[in-house]
Homo-oligomer: A and B are copies of this chain.
C-alpha cells in the first residue's frame, strides 16, 4: 500500500469538504484561488487513491427518538469464538459499531437505542449469543463534540 502524498492544497480541499460535501467546487476554487477544474481533478485523484471513500449525511438521531447511547463490553468463554460472536453482534440492529479489543473485554460495541427498555432488549440479544459469558454496560450520559474537522487538522499539523 503506497502512501499517497497530499499537499497543502489537498489539505485545504479536504478541510472544506469534510463537513460540507455539497459545497460547490467553484466556491472552493474561489477560496483557494485556483480553478474549479483543478479542484475536480484533485478530488477525483483522492477518490481514486481511496483517501476519500464516500460521503455521508449527518442525521440527528435524537430528533428521530433515539437518544440513548451505550457502550457494551462483551466477555467470551473461549477466544476462538471471537470471530463468530463479532459477526453475530454486528448483525444485531442498533449495534452501530463493534471491535475486537485487547484489555478487559474481548469485544466492545456501541449501541444506539430509544430508551433503557429498548437498550435492554439489545443487550439481551448480545447476551444470548452462543459463546458470550457476560456483558458490562456503560451508559453515555453526555457526549462531547465529535469533530471530524479537528481530527483532520491534527493529522495535517503532524504530516
Contacts and interface: CB of A to CB of B under 8 A. Distances in A.
Nearest to A103: B138
Contacts of A102: 138-139, 141
- Interface of A, secondary structure class, is mixed
Contacts of A71: 71, 99, 101, 108
A11 to B, nearest CB: 11
Contact of A90 (B96, B139, B145, B159): B145
Contacts of A56: 18-21, 55-56, 58, 148
29 contacts: A3-B63, A18-B59, A20-B54, A21-B21, A51-B60, A51-B64, A52-B58, A52-B60, A55-B56, A55-B58, A56-B148, A61-B155, A65-B159, A69-B99, A71-B101, A71-B108, A73-B104, A93-B151, A94-B151, A96-B151, A97-B146, A98-B143, A98-B144, A99-B140, A100-B142, A101-B139, A102-B139, A103-B139, A108-B140
